[in-house]
Structure 1
Amino acid sequence: MVRAKKSAMGVLGILAAALAALMLMHGCGGGGDGGSASTAASTGTLKLSITDKQSDSFDKVIISIREIRVVPAGRENAPDNDPGLPVIARFTPSRVIDVMQLQFVQEALGEAVLPAGAYSQIRLVLDPAPANYLTLKADPVTQIPLTTPSGQQSGVKVLGPVEVRAGVINAVMIDFDPNTAIVARGNGDYNLKPTGIRVVHLSDPLTQFGSISGNVMSTFMPWSSATVSVKRRGSTNDNDPIAAGLIFSNYTGGAWQAPFAAFVPPNTLPVTYKAFITTNGFQVYSSSAVSVVTGQATDLGTIPLIPLP
């Protein structure tokens, strides 16, 4: 009995060793399956692009991008060269973009595989002056320097949030609104204001799209930020938005207000879209059902925020 037991234990030991070796092979680069599954479970792909809203004032708006980084939540004060800030793209020579050419066109900026989780900023590290400039429709020849405070050191900080979900492509579009991103200083100079550059989350990368736009306003009480989301309604009813983003208010014209644009693919009836706006201290706004056409903006007009009772 003892000899038989030892023999059985020996067989079990050999099987255990073989199983361990097999698991080790699958966990290493040679097997690939185990490592790929583990990586997919902890990383996602961030795909970044940029688009633009038109302006009656500007003929060209030129920005020269050296590098694009994302900032993990909690590391907002980290310098641009911090290795903990993942690089989305690095351009040599710099990427020169006339954002005024991007109405209803998305230009790819880059993509990267990142640790899944929350990111608070996208940083656009720009070249120094005079690489960034604008021209006016009233004078399309004269190049006016576009001042970009900290754009060359810590980068233009486009506020998120940006969520990278594991195992999928996370499509994010930068909406450059020249009407709010560019501010006249009164002496003939112009500043680039990061809060006029917004991050829009998309459910999928878009090849053709239109937009739902509007201007959120409160004259009764201040508000600092609001979340705009768009969901499909009709034969398809979304729980998660097909597009979403954060907007920031400015006090102007006797009101706290902010314009927005949400980019979505054209709809086919009976599917329509509804826009929702949520912000602290105010009732949730829900638009009527609207349609969207490729290359056109569906304008909801002025949207007054109603304080909670």
Structure 2
Amino acid sequence: MLLKKLLSISFAALIGMSLLIVGCEDTTIGTDADGTGTLEVLLHDAPANYEEVNVFIERVEVNNGETEGGWETISTPEQSYDLLELVNGAMEVLGSAELEAGTYEQIRLILSSDGHSVVVDGTEHDMFVPSGEQTGIKLNVNAEIEPGITYTLLLDFDAARSVVERGNEQSGIQYLLKPVISASNEAVTGNISGTIEPVDAQPFIYAIADSDTLSSTKADTSDGTFMLVGLEEGTYTVSVDPTNDAYQTSDTTGVEVTVGDTNEIGTVTLSETQD
């Protein structure tokens, strides 16, 4: 069931690399209104059945034109991020920079050629990055930077889809990192939160619209709380899929999301599996 739902990520998420972001309406003051604004880039994650997924990001760049010469560096993190820590609303700031007002059509993440790893059953394995990915992961965002305004861009790094296993137990498994990332403008999104009981169900939670999974997370293992972030306004089904086979799946339909708000759906109590 879990694999099926992870593979049901919407076509829109599959083409997250070319996602268009509508103009920002955020009124947060980012700089003096002198023809410049601020672009802030936040990283979060869709969960995966690994213990760690570590990705080393060297720098973040934006492009204000259609040519390669338009690239401008906004940050140089030069550090590793465990994507699986960035769930339930947890974010990492990849960069924040003052930019000239205008439309920035693309953003790209430059990954290191090494330094990536995945932890499976307590063992850390290196992840190989195909040569094409080393030149930068590009996303079409069309971010409208306005004077005196902060535009916050959310990058959803889908760990489950980005880690590719090759080989088998006999020949040896090799892990590839082929990033699948989608982007959204925080100013036009909302969230869904709640609590899953019992905690030992350890479920994955999905926000589904028209049979497409548009956001996912894993409930906190200490208290069962969860948050699904970066959702466009609309009506969703919240599907809870336990990793503990002792409990049944559960769907909550008709969950509304409005821009700028978090819809708290309360506690979802899972039933035990019948023998």
Please tell me the TM-score bracket, short chain as reference: 0.5 to 0.7
Correspondent of 2:214 among 247, 252, 260: 260
Q: Does structure 2 retain, via aligned residues, the 8 Å contact 1:44–1:165?
A: yes
Structure-to-structure mapping, 1:25-64, within 5 angstroms: 40=33, 42-55=35-48, 57-64=49-56
In our comparison, the structure showing a higher alpha carbon Rg is 1
Q: Specify every segment of 5 or more residues in structure 1 that has no aligned partner in the other structure, as ranges.
A: 1-38, 218-257, 266-272, 277-286, 299-309
Q: What SS does the corresponding residue of 1:173 show, helix, strand or coil?
A: strand
Whole-angstrom distance in 1 between the partners of 2:167 and 2:57? 26
2:85 counterpart (74, 87, 101): 101
Whether 2:136 is the aligned partner of 1:149: answer no
Q: RCO (CA 8 Å, sep 6+): is it higher in 1 or 2?
A: 2
Could you tell me which residue of structure 2 aligns to residue 133 of structure 1? Answer: 117
Distance in 2 between residues matched to 1:295 and 1:146, nearest whole Å: 40
TM-score between both structures, scaled by the size of structure 2? 0.57
* Residues in 2 aligned to 1:134 and 1:106: alpha-carbon distance in whole angstroms: 20
1:290 is aligned, of 244, 248, 256, to: 256
- TM-score, normalised by the number of residues in structure 1: 0.51
Q: Secondary structure at the match of 2:58?
A: strand
Structure 1 position 115 matched with structure 2 position 115: no
Partner of 1:124: 109
CA distance in 1, matches of 2:108, 2:132: 11
Write the letter of the residue equivalent to 2:116.
N
- Number of the residue aligned with 2:141: 160
The aligned amino acid for 2:45 is D
**Partner-residue secondary structure (3-state), 1:166:** coil
Q: Which residue of 1 aligns with 2:8?
A: none
Residues 52-81 of structure 1 show CA distances to partners (whole Å, capped at 9, x for unaligned) of 1212x2211111111110122413xx2xxx
Where do 1:154-233 residues align within 5 Å? 154-186=135-167, 188-194=173-179, 196-203=180-187, 210=193, 213-214=207-208
- Do the aligned partners of residues 295 and 88 (structure 1) sit closer, same or farther apart at CA in structure 2, a change above 3 Å counting? farther
* In structure 2, distance between residues paired with 1:63 and 1:171: 22
Name structure 2 gaps, 5 residues minimum: 1-31, 194-204, 216-227, 237-252, 269-275
Matches within 5 A, 1:244-255: none
**Identity of matched residues, %:** 24
Paired amino acid for 1:102: L
Distance 1:264 1:151, change over 3 A: closer
**Larger proportion of strand:** 2
Q: Is the 8 A contact 1:147 1:189 kept in 2?
A: no
Per-residue deviation, 1:103: 0.5
Which residue identity is paired with 1:167? G
Query: What is the correspondence of 1:297-308 to structure 2 with a 5 Å cutoff?
Result: none
**Alignment-mate amino acid for residue 135 of structure 1:** V
C-alpha distance in structure 2 between counterparts of 1:213 and 1:290, whole Å? 11
Classify the secondary structure of the residue corresponding to 1:40.
coil
Matched, 1:274 2:267: no
Relative distance call for 1:259 and 1:70 in structure 2 (3 A) is farther
The alignment status of 1:88 with 2:74, answered yes or no, reads yes
Structure 1 SS opposite 2:122: strand
SS at match of 1:103: coil
Rounded to whole Å, the distance in 2 between the matches of 1:61 and 1:295 is: 30
| Inter-partner Cα distance in structure 2 for 1:186 and 1:173 | 34
Contact 2:45–2:158 under 8 Å retained in 1: yes
Do the aligned residues in 1 keep the contact of 2:162 with 2:177 (CA within 8 Å)? yes
Aligned equivalents of 2:105 and 2:164: distance in 1?
A: 24
Deviation at 1:205, TM superposition (A): 11
The reply to whether residue 65 of structure 1 matches residue 57 of structure 2 is yes
Q: Is the 8 A contact 1:159 1:198 kept in 2?
A: no
